[in-house]
Amino acid sequence: MSRAQGTTATPLRVATRSRRSLAAAAVLSVIGLLAGLALAPQPRAGEVLAFAAADSSHAASPHTGDAQSLSVAPDVAAPAISHESYAATTGTQTLVAGGTNVDWAKLVLIEGGWPLTEENVTFMMRWMRQENGADNWWNRNNPLNNGQGSGGGSGLGSYPTLIEAAYYAAENLQSGRYPAVDAALARGDSADATAQAIWASAWASSHYGYGTHWSSRPYEAIEAPASAWGR
């Protein structure tokens, strides 16, 4: 064998070894990849569904990667929003249809222009209960035994309906004889504070025992006969 032949054989052997090494490395890489896939945790069904849904919604967006938005034509006007108050939606007809002592108490507050707060309603209900029994609060259509406009200065008069009774009750409270009560109702004071204004009033000769004859127990809604309302 000549020197030239020996020189030619050496790179061939090197090339053969290199190809074998590369093949072996490729086989090992494939084995490693398969092993990694086998060991990797498989996604749960829920995750697959969630991913599919997210991918679907993403594909539906015309701007991939951007937040979706809703555009409105410039000639489309926004609807007006109505913010009606409790007093505005509670009119005379609604209260008359309800027909209870609570409705009458609210009707007095509306007639006087006082706020329809829970404290004001509670005060009225307690006062009505002191004047007439709860089960007969519409007695003589005069729940507060009001003498103004009822034909009986002592408060034993009567009204044609409970609607007139509410009007005259509010008128009497705003006549100037009960300034503290009027002011307390206007402020929406607590039911106890407004009651104290009644007890101190010169109109109440007994002053309701300054609270000893005044019940603060919960009140009940009791309906009056339809005739008492003029229905």
b/e burial code for range 3-36 (CB count within 10 A of at least 16 → b): eeeeeeeeeeeeeeeeeeeeeeeeeeeeeeeeee
Q: What's the pLDDT band for 79 if we cut at 50, 70, 90?
A: very low
Question: Are 139 and 132 contacting, i.e. CB atoms less than 8 angstroms apart?
Answer: yes
Tens of pLDDT, residue by residue over 169-204, are: 999 999 998 999 999 999 999 999 999 999 998 777
Overall average pLDDT of the 126-136 stretch:
94
Question: Over pLDDT 90: what percentage of the chain?
Answer: 50
Question: Are 200 and 183 contacting, i.e. CB atoms less than 8 angstroms apart?
Answer: no
Q: What's the pLDDT band for 61 if we cut at 50, 70, 90?
A: very low
> Dihedral of the CA atoms 45, 51, 52, 54 (nearest 10)?
150
Check pLDDT > 80 for residue 21. Answer: no
Check pLDDT > 50 for residue 43. Answer: no
Domain boundaries, the chain: 1-34, 87-229
Check pLDDT > 80 for residue 155. Answer: yes
Q: Cα(8)–Cα(22) distance, rounded to whole angstroms? A: 22
Whether the model clears a pTM of 0.75, i.e. scores above it, the answer is: no
Task: Identify the DSSP state of 160.
Answer: S
Check pLDDT > 90 for residue 45. Answer: no
> For 151-160, which contacts have Cβ atoms below 8 Å and span 24 or more sequence positions?
160/230
Check pLDDT > 60 for residue 120. Answer: yes
Rounded to 5°, the CA angle 78-79-83 comes to 125
Check pLDDT > 70 for residue 130. Answer: yes
Question: Are 221 and 101 contacting, i.e. CB atoms less than 8 angstroms apart?
Answer: yes
More confident residue, 205 or 18: 205
Q: What's the pLDDT band for 91 if we cut at 50, 70, 90?
A: confident
Overall average pLDDT of the 38-65 stretch:
43
Overall average pLDDT of the 38-59 stretch:
42
